[in-house]
């Protein structure tokens, strides 16, 4: 083993450190960041920016739906201010009627003349609701399939329907598809849709096969 003096060792270390520092400095000078502002990376699907409304609390009644006779400015019963605000954010899809509410919703209750629609207990209401006569407790079915489709058209969103497979048979699901998408005058259900004021098919592309089909919900 060769011996080296303290002075020589310190000198060699300083020279090596200086060389390493110079190398790092040179590399740092060569490094650069380029921001390509006008270069397209890819197209983001508008479906990612979807939204969701459900018959819980005041989301639908007083939120979306105020009724045609309301003093609140509305478009066919739908809150006008909400339409204007939501339209600005350009939603891709809008999901309805739930959520949990979809698991007990019968779409037949929400079609036809509003004065003849049944009034149901909202299965998903919380026990903390104070006013037992509020629409949050008793579902009046004033906002149904046609009203939802019109709301989507007003705000520029694609309708996304969630079918009830928890308490209704699959037959009700495909009848709902027929009601929404069958051409006018070709079926009894499409004639029913036209009689409600919507002759043209809604052409719904997005359907939820039940809500949250996992765990207990899939049993």
pLDDT of residue 219: 45
Neighbours of 60 (CB within 10 A): 24
Topology adopted by domain 46-218: TIM Barrel (3.20.20)
CA neighbor of 209 nearest in space, from 160, 164, 158: 164
25: pLDDT strictly greater than 70: no
Residue 44 phi, psi dihedral angles, 5° rounding: -90, 125
pLDDT, the chain, mean: 84
- pLDDT band for position 80 (50/70/90)? very high
Using DSSP bridges, classify how beta strands 138-139 and 120-121 pair: parallel, antiparallel or unpaired. antiparallel
pLDDT of residue 189: 97
122 versus 158: the higher-pLDDT residue is 158
Mean pLDDT, residues 51-77: 95
Report percent pLDDT > 70 for the chain: 79
Instruction: Assign 213 to helix, strand or coil.
Output: coil
Q: Please, how many CA atoms are within 13 Å of residue 157, restricted to the half-sphere of its CB? A: 31
103 versus 125: the higher-pLDDT residue is 103
Mean pLDDT, residues 186-211: 95
135: pLDDT strictly greater than 70: no
Tokens of 130: 């104070």
Mean pLDDT, residues 78-85: 98
Residue 139 phi, psi dihedral angles, 5° rounding: -75, 115
147: pLDDT strictly greater than 50: yes
Q: Answer yes or no: are the C-beta atoms of 123 and 104 closer than 8 Å.
A: yes
């Amino acid at each position: 083993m060769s011996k080296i003096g303290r002075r020589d060792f310190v000198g060699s270390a300083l020279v090596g450190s200086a060389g390493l520092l110079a190398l790092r400095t040179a590399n740092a000078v060569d490094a650069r960041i380029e921001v390509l502002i006008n270069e397209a990376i890819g197209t983001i699907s508008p479906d990612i920016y979807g939204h969701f409304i459900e018959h819980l609390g005041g989301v639908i009644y007083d939120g979306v739906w105020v009724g045609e006779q309301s003093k609140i400015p509305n478009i066919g019963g739908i809150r006008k201010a909400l339409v204007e605000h939501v339209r600005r954010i350009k939603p891709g899809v809008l999901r309805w009627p739930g959520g949990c509410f979809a698991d007990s919703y019968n779409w037949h209750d929400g079609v036809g003349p509003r004065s003849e629609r049944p009034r149901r207990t909202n299965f998903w209401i919380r026990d903390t609701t104070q006013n037992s006569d509020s629409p949050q407790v008793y579902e009046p079915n004033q906002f149904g399939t046609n009203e939802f489709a019109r709301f989507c058209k007003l705000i520029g969103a694609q309708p996304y329907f969630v079918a009830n497979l928890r308490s209704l048979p699959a037959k009700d699901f495909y009848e709902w598809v027929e009601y929404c998408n069958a051409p006018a005058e070709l079926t009894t259900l499409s004639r029913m849709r036209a009689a409600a004021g919507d002759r043209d098919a809604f052409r719904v592309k997005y359907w939820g096969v039940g809500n949250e089909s996992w765990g207990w919900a899939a049993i």
